[in-house]
Amino acid sequence: MNEHVAPDDCIFCRIVEGRAPAHRVLEDERTLVFMDLFPVTEGHTLIIPKAHCTNLLDVDEADLQAVARHSRVVAHAIREVIAPDGIGVFQLNGAAAGPTVFHYHMHLIPRTKGGTLQLHTRVRGDPDQLADTARRLAAAIPGKEAW
């Protein structure tokens, strides 16, 4: 896999620019939160900085802080809407770690007791269910209008 993807070739950059579809949950000037199109579980969300960067080692400090801040906000919404037993927070760096997109991103994956640990799937989620989950998560975020 090529870790050095130009922003024009990056699916996450295309999503930020509106050139690729996504079920958006939350957005501000630095970050975007949207549903993973290949969810491991219901509520599997991705948090990305809008500016292209490959991984944790080259993400802008302010963007990293914004991603972390949104991870907590969205985790609260996941707990309210999905009511999982836990929430996995994952972030992969470098091809050997297994990312499928080389644009810094954080996964929030609702987990249930006894479930298998899985970070990716090749099964595309149902678009209607993803849209519904995105709407329910967004509605559970207090003050999102001010973001």
CATH code (residue 31): 3.30.428.10
Establish if 2 belongs to a structural domain.
no
Residue 146 is assigned to a structural domain of this protein: no
Asked whether the beta carbons of 10 and 2 are under 8 A apart, the reply is: no
- What is 51-120 written as a DSSP string? S---STTTS-HHHHHHHHHHHHHHHHHHHHHT--SEEEEE---SGGG--SS-S--EEEEEE-TT----S-
Residue showing tokens 């802080």: 65
Is residue 60, in this structure, part of any structural domain at all?
yes
**Does 145 have pLDDT greater than 60?**
no
Any catalytic annotation for residue 105? yes
pLDDT for 2-40, tens place per residue? 566 666 789 999 999 999 999 999 999 999 999 999 999
For residue 115, is it within any domain?
yes
**pLDDT over threshold 60, residue 130:** yes
Domain hosting 135: range is 7-140
pLDDT digits (tens, 9 = 90+) for 37-82: 999 999 999 999 999 999 999 999 999 999 999 999 999 999 999 9
User: Is residue 70 assigned to a domain?
Assistant: yes
Is 0.85 surpassed by the pTM of this model? Answer: yes
- Residue 88 falls inside a structural domain: yes
For the chain, the domain total comes to: 1
**Residue 147 lies inside a defined structural domain of this protein:** no
Q: Is 146's pLDDT higher than 70?
A: no
Residue 145 in any domain: the answer is: no
Candidates 44, 52, 70, 105; catalytic one:
105
